Structure 1
Amino acid sequence: MTKIKCLQNAIIFALGLACNGFAATPETVKFASRDGKTELVGYLFKPAGAGPHPAVVMLHGRGGPYSALRPGVADATNLTARHRLWGNFWAERGYVALHVDSFGPRGYPRGFPKHSYSSRPPEVNEQSVRPLDAYGALDYLRTRNDVIADRVGVHGWSNGGMTLLAALAPNPPRVAPDQADRARLAAPTPQREFRAAISQYPGCRIQRDQADYKPYAPMLMLVASDDDEVSPQVCATLAEHIKTRGADIEFFMYPGAHHSYDDPGKAKQSHAPNKAALEDTLKRAEAFFVKHLRP
């Protein structure tokens, strides 16, 4: 199957099918967060071949990783269509993709509703807690023989996009404050960092207001002009600040697109700007990780 044809069929992944023989249901794995107390659940989408391969850590948004179509089912068979789409998309292109559930292991498998930011519990905070989950996923991937240890990227949506903004700060929360015995892991060496990041429709206000914010790895930020959950204008300002500080960032705003524009369901994709944004995002994301993660 050609690359173009496979790209056109990307939405088929989300319907539970496969491209070039990749399984629709990922492998369930467990690993430690760097918070020192939480065992996380992750869903592993694996490419063909023994590898080693580059890898991608995937970070869900405030709604969590599971579909609302089957309430109470929090496992690999009930990931949202968007997360299945992207997990299979990365695997088909030769990446080991690990989707991290930050909410379920802490008692919130159903995630949180829109506009609930101020009432969410501190144990799922995207600035101080979830970055430790991202680094826990990185630690886990580095133990695998099928992963190239220094070729790991991170891809986040909405609250997950905010998480990676915090994780890529100059001095991110790489280890919980009370985990002194893990201080060695907190050292900012290339062996312990993400190599590149893709952030889709994140909230950018906290980083915008930090005078010295500068991500340590190249970043692709994609936002929607008609987003009703986060401000794309604030992200545009942040991107300009990042550029002036000499960091590597690519920024694009999709005109007329909505929050979660890459949800492959009919409700989102019947809106033409969302469909166009999804198609373009697939191309931009692939090219970005080819540039930064491929040996």
Structure 2
Amino acid sequence: MLTRESCSAYFRHAIPAAFFVFVTSLSCVGHAQVARTEVIPFQSSTLTDEEFLDDRPGKPVTIAGELRLPRAGTERFPVVVLLHGTAGITSTVTDWEQDLLAMGVATFVVDSYAGRGIVSTINDMSKLGRLVQIEDAYRALETLQKHPRIDPERIMLMGLSWGGHAALYASLKRFQRMHGPASGREFSAYVAFYPPCNTGYRQDEDISAKPVRIFYGSADDYIPVAACREYVNRLRVNGKNIELTEYPGASHGFDSKAFATPIKLPQAQTTRNCRLQEAAHGEIVNAATSKLFSYDDACVARGLTLAFKQDVSASARTAVKELLAATGSKPH
């Protein structure tokens, strides 16, 4: 019999060797009711940041996402596409998956690593471009909008940490024009948990009219909240539908019960001391030196604290639930 652990292990390790659709009536997600599970392969691209920003082709790759439906039948569900952080698919992601399913919302967890032969980028973020998960998100949207059990108008994007960076900047209209689905559809909302906001992209003030929501802890030592605060304030002056919810005293991973006892990752790579900027042809430069950015730059540091904060986690989950209702992304 499949347990949650064995199913998750299967998804992360068996799929790279052989992509196929796996359907089961068993739940791999804690206590949430799951009527159907599908592992769905889809085509994406592995791009450098420069290739993504200059609209150049990358290397084709097949990755997979795991779709879970909360009920049997023929109804079309709203779905939340979940993007993981540098650690890959962890309990932080699957906890959210369980909570969303309990709300009656389908989930689609995208694995951006396994198909590319990556396990983690925590200690070496140069293994994968910072914008690749945006490409993955758009391709996931393209795939899900054709699924017979998914309502194509109620597909929300949500990401954690570097997945949050992708969820936030997937709202840029420029990126949508270059990389978005040919159908012209977009996500119903963009939700980013503690995303790095310290890279300035060209035309980054021209974002979707759909809701963009950011959740951040004031004690986050991975990428401090200040950069996101500045970005949101700049956009709100221009009337954009973007909001930052800042939680005093909360750290990175405040929504993850796995960090009930705070942990430190001394070798985790961070650009918290860096300010980066997109140049004319998609190059990412270090604003302090005006030279091409490298993870060998002096501003790159090590060390990260992860700590759960129950009241903050509960508040954030309530906010996501309310956003789902406000955008029509809860079951009718």
TM-score scaled by length of structure 2:
0.67
Normalized per residue, the structure richer in helix is 1
1:102-113 aligned within 5 A: 102-108=112-118, 110-113=119-122
Q: Distance in 1 between matches of 2:327 and 2:141?
A: 16
Q: Distance in 2 between matches of 1:159 and 1:250?
A: 18
What amino acid is the match of 1:132? Answer: E
Give the 3 Å change call, closer, same or farther, for CA 231–141 of structure 1 in structure 2.
Answer: same
Segments of structure 1 that go 5 or more residues without pairing to the other structure are 1-14, 66-79, 177-182
Alignment correspondent of 1:39: 62
Aligned residues: 246
1:229-268 aligned within 5 A: 229-265=222-258, 266-268=260-262
1:89-238 aligned within 5 A: 89-108=99-118, 110-114=119-123, 116-117=124-125, 120-121=126-127, 124-127=128-131, 129-172=132-175, 185-186=181-182, 189=184, 192-207=185-200, 210=202, 212-216=204-208, 217-238=210-231
Q: Distance in 2 between matches of 1:212 and 1:125?
A: 18
Deviation at 1:218, TM superposition (A): 1.0
Q: Is the CA contact 1:131–1:173 (under 8 Å) kept in the aligned structure 2? A: no
Deviation at 1:228, TM superposition (A): 1.2
SS in structure 2 opposite 1:171?
A: helix
Q: Distance in 2 between matches of 1:26 and 1:262?
A: 25
SS in structure 1 opposite 2:121?
A: coil
Q: What whole-Å deviation, never above 9, does each CA across 1:201-241 have from its counterpart, x for those lacking one?
A: 0000114x656423202111000111111121111111111
SS in structure 2 opposite 1:172?
A: helix
- % identical equivalent positions: 25
Q: What whole-Å deviation, never above 9, does each CA across 1:120-152 have from its counterpart, x for those lacking one?
A: 13xx3232x221110111011111111111111
SS in structure 1 opposite 2:173?
A: coil
SS in structure 1 opposite 2:309?
A: helix
Alignment correspondent of 1:275: 310
Q: Is the CA contact 1:151–1:195 (under 8 Å) kept in the aligned structure 2? A: yes
Alignment correspondent of 2:94: 84
SS in structure 2 opposite 1:33?
A: strand
274-283 or 35-44: which moved more? 35-44
Q: Distance in 1 between matches of 2:97 and 2:234?
A: 31
SS in structure 2 opposite 1:285?
A: helix
TM-score scaled by length of structure 1:
0.75
Does the alignment pair 1:290 with 2:325? yes
Alignment correspondent of 2:81: 57
Deviation at 1:101, TM superposition (A): 0.7
Deviation at 1:244, TM superposition (A): 1.2
Deviation at 1:36, TM superposition (A): 7.0
Normalized per residue, the structure richer in strand is 2
Q: What whole-Å deviation, never above 9, does each CA across 1:136-191 have from its counterpart, x for those lacking one?
A: 11011111111111111100011001112221112115656xxxxxx9x447x3xx
Q: Is the CA contact 2:161–2:196 (under 8 Å) kept in the aligned structure 1? A: yes
Q: Distance in 2 between matches of 1:130 and 1:154?
A: 11
Give the 3 Å change call, closer, same or farther, for CA 210–93 of structure 1 in structure 2.
Answer: same
Deviation at 1:289, TM superposition (A): 1.5
